[in-house]
Amino acid sequence: MDDKVNHTEEEIRERYRKAIESSLQKAPVRTGERIYLTDLWAVTSIPEEIIIEILSSCEVKLPEEVRCIVDDRRKKKRVLYGEKESNEQSGNTKQPRIRKVQGEDS
């Protein structure tokens, strides 16, 4: 009996996407309605670079209370997925990510 199963790259990506979506429900929500990349890594044990790759290539549904996923590995944090905040102090304008998040109406 052959127990080896060859999964396509698409199947593997889909499994990672599902694992990340599940971890979004378990990860702590930080100030500013953010989830940190390192928190996703701690919950899933998926390497950070793979999480970044999945977030950049797949649609992931964010929980209602979460606005974005942030790469917190460096002093200057950057938004990996979700809404990006404007650096302008004078306005409250927000730039949505080019790829829309599922379930988002705007």
Predicted pLDDT of residue 92: 46
* Among 29-33, 72-76, 99-103, the least confident range: 99-103
For the chain, the average pLDDT equals 81
Domain count, the chain: 1
Domain membership flag for residue 91: no
Domain membership flag for residue 105: no
Domain membership flag for residue 25: yes
pTM for the complete prediction?
A: 0.71
Domain, as residue range, for 45: 9-85
Given pLDDT bands bounded at 50, 70 and 90, which one contains residue 4? low
Predicted pLDDT of residue 52: 95
Domain membership flag for residue 104: no
Domain membership flag for residue 37: yes
Residue 81 in this model has a pLDDT that exceeds 60 = yes
Average of pLDDT values for 34-46? 95
Question: Given its phi and psi angles, is residue 85 left (phi above 0), alpha (psi -120 to 50 degrees) or beta?
Answer: beta
Domain membership flag for residue 76: yes
Containing 94, the helix (H) or strand (E) segment is strand 94-95
Q: How many helices (H) and strands (E) does the chain have?
A: 3, 5
